[in-house]
Structure 1
Amino acid sequence: MYRVWGFITNYSLLLILGAVIALIWANVDSHSYHTFVEFPIAEHFFIGEMHEGHRMLTLHYLVNDLLMALFFAIAAKEVWEAVILKQGSLRGKKAATPLVATAGGMLGPIAVYLVLAMILGSDTFDAVKNGWAVPTATDIAFSYLVGRVVFGAGHPAVRFLLLLAIADDAAGLVILAIFYPTGDLAVQWLLLSIAAAVAVFVLANWLPRKLDKGRELRPNSTWVRNTLGFWPYLIAGCISWYGFMRAGIHPALGLLPIVPTIPHADRAFGIFAEAEKHLTDLLNDIEHKLKTPVEVILFFFGLLNAGVEFNAIGDPTWLVLAGLIIGKPLGILLMGAFAAHVLRLGLPEGMRTSDLFVIGCVAAIGFTVSLFIAAVAFEPDAMLGDTPVQAAAKMGALFSFGAAIISIVMGKLFGVKKVEG
């Protein structure tokens, strides 16, 4: 059983509300909107060359660089469980074809985006080339919801889509970390993040379990859980975030090294699974506690990033859309078919090769992560906020919702038979 609507309500409706408010506000009074986005909260010391050693802490920085770390931590939790647990959805042969298709779902958009940019001329290419990763993302929640509408809840293509979207998110995190640094790379600072992760794992996870070996009541592990709770991991997370920030890697990814160190259940029921709310391990407990804060954070993320004026629509908008709506379906179809038939990895029973193209259309809904990448791929103007190129790319991410309509139409054209259940 999957609680799709509950997930959409929890994590997406407030995000959409924030984005809609931002769009209206930016087109009614752009000056007041950008003044709000760059509202200075405090001036904090920043070691570097920005503003002579000082950087202004704005609402935009607070949400995008600090608070969004909680959102990416939840995404990392799902990816970690899918990879590490014995019944994880990204383990074994069952995940092989979706993983290969995921590669196509990223390479296809990149190729379409860059080739079309080159066709538009060198000036356009130079202006937009850094946004090549914007159309690679897939919004898990909305894609999953649309997938159920197109295929029906019981169709194997829905499970395939979910595996692909999780793998896509994992690859997106890697892309953000490697290709979109926030400054000059100083990778030695990552040692601080690694040290924090190792220390909290050894002291708060491994050592108590080691001392409790052969002791049924597990007194040490119980004391750590009941007395210290999530605090050791919060402290380690803050240290890791600082290490990422100083290393020049986007600090919103700063909690990723800490997620695997948190004690977790021996099994997971999968993203959207109703049963997961009954798991009491510390990792799931932390996720439950983060539910409401992350909802609020996503609202402000939409509010602070989606405020694009409609006159900003330009070449980057169509490049992002082409990457998503053309590159995604073709990439997933070609690589998925290659995996299934050439590599003989096969497709899930009841799924046709043509379903891969429809899955690609559904996966073309980028939204959340595409919007985030667009926000970091292009350097904003310190005074005016989004540059024209950045604003146009963001509009492409927002317009990717149109892939939902395309998916429904393609499902009809390709004769998809809905399977309820």
Structure 2
Amino acid sequence: MAQRSPITRRHLLLGAAATFGVPAILAGCGSEAPAPAPGRPGGDLGTVTIGSNASDEIPKKSLDTVVKGFTQATTRINTVDHNTFQENINRYLRGTPEDVFTWFAGYRMQFFAEQGLATDISDVWQEIGGGYTQAFKDQSTGVDGKQYFIPFTYYPWAVFYRKSVWREKGYTPPATLDEFTALARKMKTDGLIPIAFADKDGWPAMGTFDILNMRTNGYDFHVSLMAGKESWTDPRVKQVFDTWRGLMEFHQPAALGRTWQEAGQSLAQKKTGMYLLGMFVAQQFPEADRDDLDFFTFPEINPAYGTDSIDAPIDGYMISAKAKNVEGAKALLKHFAQPASQNIATGLDPGTLAASSQADTSGYSALQKRGAELVSKATHIAQFLDRDTRPDFASTVMIPSLQSFVGEPDEIDSLLKSIEQQKANIFR
């Protein structure tokens, strides 16, 4: 099993037919990148194809714009619904994948690299490595010591809220779980749904589990649990679910029928008081309202760990092992690694931060600056549950298990026993 290289604050400061098994899923989804402007050559490296999970409007526009600036080859982007891409990535990479594909750093990258489904890009890193901290390089490196991933953007998870609502109601960010609960209770009294919540897509609830586990049991236990080394029937895991169950009365109801975008819009519309999510929640706010968005890190539960850990997933690009145009693909990855490319992305997408340490952050919004500060102060940074564990365990066990918990939060013991039994069959 692949070993992860965790990002720490110290490291950070140093510096988804054949394609998806269902041809119809991809048919009609492809979009060729805008042609180079008149007088600019299209390049001589042929055609580079890109498999993209950037299906939402803002990230899709961001990728299209960044790729438009790549003139060494003709590019063709095949965009697939984010969740469909992620859930079918294994079949995709074993079928007829595009040359370059969007993916995630750390364990999820290592897992497919170790299976021989990605192309070694260590030579690319020899050219672009100076633009990244060692932490980002670690998260791009396979268990064999070679690099397979180019970091592009990342984003922290926190509890988001509208400043104007909080100012009107006199709310202040809580420092402890007791204060958080008291605040949620006050919001109910004031006629607000305290916590926006959605899990129709399966993955958002993972963020709640992650932060409750790291706040309760610490980063090291969380990482070990994700690696299959701890038992899900351990009392420490049960305590996480007990705590979560105690917060359920404050969650937005009917979460299994709601997307994260809809939950984000409820926050933007001032119907909910706060929302634990990635900074990409800003995509659901009208541009004129984004300055009204702020956040706090999830409060302390266990004083032994305080608020030392957060989720801050890294998104980027890889080259499939079956790439038809490796030379062109590597040139495109070098383009993605350029600070100027990442500056374009973070300028268009208010919910992201540039991975390159050489990127110009002077144009960051106040929210982006706060996000960068939050990450820099974290002692431990996790990549997110479905990125920090085996993809088969995340998709076939944890998604249905967490959705089951959201639907029936009183059935904890039987749920954890089921997770542990399934885990034993996967982590052999």
Q: Which has the higher strand share?
A: 2
> Structure 1 length as normaliser, TM-score?
0.27
Q: Which has the higher helix share?
A: 1
